[in-house]
Structure 1
């Protein structure tokens, strides 16, 4: 029988970290403890509960069935305590606090979201600093786990239980080209589109472990193909045509200069096309095949669910998207 009154709650926090990391080393780094301190804490907890918790493997540690059984209720309890103490000890006041948030986003998201967000923060929270890191890094999930990234923004096909998500916005795709491009002279069709070289953006590929356009890392599957590749390939197959040539690039913001004085056309998200067309002499055309709406989500660690500052940041991001981006999509 476990005596809860005599149980050191710090042991539960260490257990939760090792459960997430599946590694004593990574858990010790996250908790700013030595490996021996973490190992000793696990031994104390094992003695207290009378059950084995982890089994050492060549890649770290594997939780036992007992550890899996208790992990979810313990994590929920820790999150509840963290949220209660955060609200009671330091209510978040954005107008008078100095804090830095780290957001992972690609150049497209940065271009359409940050101007509006920066304007909002400069008025309501001048002491808030933002650090934007590339969401293309292969250790994105690990960076969220280690609390080095507060929020990641992108398109994800799989999100592990330890991470939570929220819809930021939805978008579709369009074709863009320079004003006066020959494609504008006739009716848009797959045959017409296939006549000209095409530029698309890919943030990774099969060489980086991508499967069906997504890269899986530690349970988080993030999009690598930044356009609806299956829809394009299906449309080409049905029309029995092939793209003359294709240029695949890693950055959206290189596209306008590529289109200038060339026959290139490009597939981009509609909000970005609207931003480009305000600055560059570009035309926005509908694609000659159906494309579905694509989600952009916020992803964060579940430990931050109830954190007042984190809740506020998520609300600001959604407000920036709703107030500015949705209006651009409807323009």
Structure 2
């Protein structure tokens, strides 16, 4: 295919199909029907002289030629987009809407202070928070329906950008008049007192070591280090009493205030909930793995001035984990 006869829209279709491996999802991203995407691919195949994608039971699989073309065409499209986009962004005058995916922990400790900054610096900017626990999180980012996702991710696909926001330890929450509140916690306490944990998916949803893998993105399904707890207690011949599992961290205070249960949560969440009254935050009597919270976004937004501005605000809104 000569450059003179090249329709740039065909390259956008190729990029979408290459990333989604599905004609329907690619069409949704481009606001095209499935038949229009199929027709565009057919024209591109004729021009390139290669089938580009093979149909399989698991979707479309790129050929060797498509794999060779993908990074070259992406770089070219990114260059064209950068050249044509405006290079300025005025937060104070903007009326944009951003969509962030976050769980209730992140909403409490990061998004709340972020909103305070937005009210001062960009009163016309709107923010929508979607649950990061949805199974199609990676797909929603691919389709452009989520601008930024914040959470703990064990694996991040190469098509996403990422930046670390916080690295924090875990802490224990209990009511202020808990029987163990006036002394140092021991391992035996975690066998004696039932635990409330936060879990948004177990092995039945495909979770492995506390993470669920979907479309190349491994997102956290449990907000505590289960293995570290079990191994620590096993060394002294005990087992933890994992009594209640809830999908939302903000349900923990109501559960703890009504009895002698305890909960293991990230330290920033422990401090935030204890600060609301009635609860105490205490250090663990064993070593657990640190939780790394990152923000991720699609690389097509790397150079977008508005998205870059938002990422900077999110980083500044993160609490001190010291």
TM-score class, shorter-chain normalisation, is: over 0.9
Q: Runs of 5+ in structure 1 lacking a partner?
A: none
Q: Say if 2:295 is the partner of 1:294.
A: no
From 157, 167, 171, give the equivalent of 2:168.
171
Q: Secondary structure at the match of 1:183?
A: coil
Do the aligned residues in 2 keep the contact of 1:28 with 1:34 (CA within 8 Å)? Answer: yes
What residue number does 2:195 align with? 198
What residue number does 2:8 align with? 9
Task: Tell me, in whole angstroms, the C-alpha distance in 1 between the residues paired with 2:230 and 2:266.
Answer: 17
**Aligned-residue offset at 1:245:** 4.7
Residues 3/258 of structure 1: CA separation in 2 closer, same or farther (3 Å cut):
same
Q: Say if 2:154 is the partner of 1:157.
A: yes
In the TM superposition, what whole-angstrom CA distance separates every residue of 1:147-205 from its partner, at most 9, and x where no partner exists?
Answer: 11111111111111111211111111101111121112444210133211111111111
**TM-score, scaled to structure 1:** 0.94
What residue number does 1:114 align with? 111
What residue number does 1:22 align with? 21
Task: Tell me, in whole angstroms, the C-alpha distance in 1 between the residues paired with 2:82 and 2:148.
Answer: 18
What residue number does 1:56 align with? 55
Q: Runs of 5+ in structure 2 lacking a partner?
A: none
Q: Say if 2:38 is the partner of 1:39.
A: yes
In the TM superposition, what whole-angstrom CA distance separates every residue of 1:255-307 from its partner, at most 9, and x where no partner exists?
Answer: 11111141101111111111112112211111010123211011111111111
Q: Secondary structure at the match of 1:74?
A: helix
Number of corresponding residues: 322
Task: Tell me, in whole angstroms, the C-alpha distance in 1 between the residues paired with 2:258 and 2:213.
Answer: 38
Do the aligned residues in 2 keep the contact of 1:176 with 1:283 (CA within 8 Å)? Answer: yes
From 278, 298, 303, give the equivalent of 1:281.
278
Where has structure 1 moved over 4 Å in runs of 4 or more?
A: none
Task: Tell me, in whole angstroms, the C-alpha distance in 2 between the residues paired with 1:304 and 1:33.
Answer: 21
Task: Tell me, in whole angstroms, the C-alpha distance in 1 between the residues paired with 2:233 and 2:56.
Answer: 48
Residues 265/298 of structure 1: CA separation in 2 closer, same or farther (3 Å cut):
same
